[in-house]
Amino acid sequence: MSQKKELAKLLEELEATSSFIRAEAVRKIGRMEIPLTDIPMDLHSRLVKALSDPAPEVRAEVVMTLVFLEGEIIVPLLEPLLSDSVDVVRSNTISALSFSEAPLNEILSEKLIECMSEKSIQIRDRCARALGRLKVQGAEKILLETLQKDSSFVVRTGAVVGLGMLDFINSKVIDQLNIHLDHETSDLVRQTIVEVVSIHSTKENDPLVDL
């Protein structure tokens, strides 16, 4: 089957009664390498429509597919999904946002920060990493507080990883990381702190870092 025919078939399956078929169709579309000349004019609108699909597994697939296909231009459309009622949809939305190279607007940044209060460990972990990767304003303070207070070692690890993805952290934060190292109970968190401190200590001592 040619790629055009396969894509046409998958687009038809977006209207299937089975949510499993719809979700699989979205997932396969997202993994296709579609030449610009072969992209149907209604592909964008049909995927955006699927953001409101009643099945959470479909919505969860759509957010990733839209970012893979359209990149940062789709980011504003993802805002409502950060308030979705289903954890996996919110979690995938955070991951999708983290792939964007564009700075988040104030509303999205605030919603991402709010996600750090979620009950879901996976959401808090992905959010911590996204805050660092996207260099959200105030991320340094939030991630340091998360490291010090969160009960999950998974989230604490994510907070350290997020700090590590910031372009630069100052000596006071490095000191706080070293202090935390003394009473951290998780080997994974401790190892991650050591790695981040090593990388950023090198940056701080690099005379070219501010050039």
Average confidence (pLDDT) over 59-66: 92
Delineate the domains of the chain, giving CATH numbers in brackets. 1-100 (1.25.10.10), 137-211 (1.25.10)
pLDDT of 17 over the 90 cut: yes
Structure tokens at 5: 């025919």
What is the per-residue pLDDT across 169-209, written as a single tens digit (0 to 9) for each? 788 889 999 999 999 999 999 999 999 999 887 665 544 44
Q: Between 84 and 203, where is the model more confident?
A: 84
- Verdict on whether the full-model pTM lies above 0.85: no
Question: 20 with 8: CB under 8 angstroms?
Answer: no
Q: What beta strand segments (E) does 34-132 contain?
A: none
Other residues' Cβ atoms within 10 Å of the Cβ of residue 152: 15
Eight-class DSSP state of 168: -
pLDDT of 210 over the 50 cut: no
* Total residues belonging to the chain: 211
**Report for 35-39, 56-60, 92-96: range of highest mean pLDDT:** 56-60
Q: How far is CA 149 from the centre of its chain?
A: 22
Rg (CA), the chain: 20
First to last CA, the chain: 53
The pLDDT confidence band at residue 44, using thresholds 50, 70 and 90, is confident
**Nearest of 9, 18, 68 to residue 40 by alpha carbon:** 9
- H or E element, residue 155: helix 153-165
Question: 18 with 24: CB under 8 angstroms?
Answer: no
**Model pLDDT, residue 208:** 40
**Nearest of 140, 131, 147, 150 to residue 170 by alpha carbon:** 140
